[in-house]
Every structure is written in structure tokens, then in C-alpha cells.
Amino acid sequence: MKRSGYFLLLVLLSLILSSCDDEIFGPRTFEGFWDVTEKSEVFGELSFRVWIEESPGDNSRLIIYDFSFLEGADVVADVLERNLTISPQSVAARGGAFQISGSGTASSNRRRIDWQYRIDGDNYTAVFVKQ
């Protein structure tokens, strides 16, 4: 009798958790501080931190603040499951405008993002790790 009770409890718990999957792994799971290691031919390897949050009024978009160590460069990325896309956009920072586009893939637990992007025609790769 006890075994069937435990089994029923386990089944119920797994159903509850699976029904919350979108909430657990939605764009809000990306919100927070991220440690970044970025590599480019122009600047070599840099380490810095960014803040990511959900775009107000659009839960399929994120805003990445101070993107690519460009203070004031706030980049918008679209989220579809684990895939992130930075559509071509012009971003103002450091008294100029930068053309940015790229894509990233998040790990299954949404604690790491591997990025490839272009800034003003130069190629970059980066790894974001959530604190």
C-alpha cells in the first residue's frame, strides 16, 4: 500500500513540474548578472559582466545591458526555447553607433550561453555564465 502511495505522489509531482516547464525555463530564467568571456581578433580576450532582463511587455525578448563591454550598449535578443537571436541593430555607446548582430545557444539549464556575433563587421565569440 505504501509503495503505491509513493508512486502516486511521484507521478503527481512530475506532472506538476512538467506543466510549469515554460515558466521555469522562460525568458525570465535568463534574468540576472552574467560573467562574460569574450574573444575577438581585434581585442583578444576580455572578461566583464552584463545584466540581462526580460523586455517590458514582450516575454520573448531580452535586453542585454553593456553588451560586449560597451558601456551603455543595450542589445535586444529574441528568445525561442534555447536559441537567442540578435537581429541586426544599431546601438549607441561610447559616443558612437555600433552595428551588432548574432546568435547564441543556451545550455539546457539556462546557466550558460555560447554566442557568435558581429560588431561593425568584426567577428566575436563569447561565453556567458550566469552567477
Ranges of each domain in the chain: 25-130
- Work out the pLDDT band at 1, boundaries 50, 70, 90: low
CA-CA-CA-CA dihedral for 20, 22, 28, 32, to nearest 10: 80
Q: For 52, how many CA atoms within 13 A lie in the half-sphere containing its CB?
A: 29
Fold classified for 25-130: Lipocalin (2.40.128)
Lowest mean pLDDT among 10-19, 31-40, 88-97, 118-127: 10-19
- Greater model confidence, 19 or 99: 99
* pLDDT, position 21: 42
Residue type at 98 in one-letter notation:
F
Helix (H, G, I), strand (E, B) or coil at 21: helix
Per-residue cell: 96: 558612437
Per-residue b/e over 80-89, b at no fewer than 16 CB within 10 Å? eeeebebeee
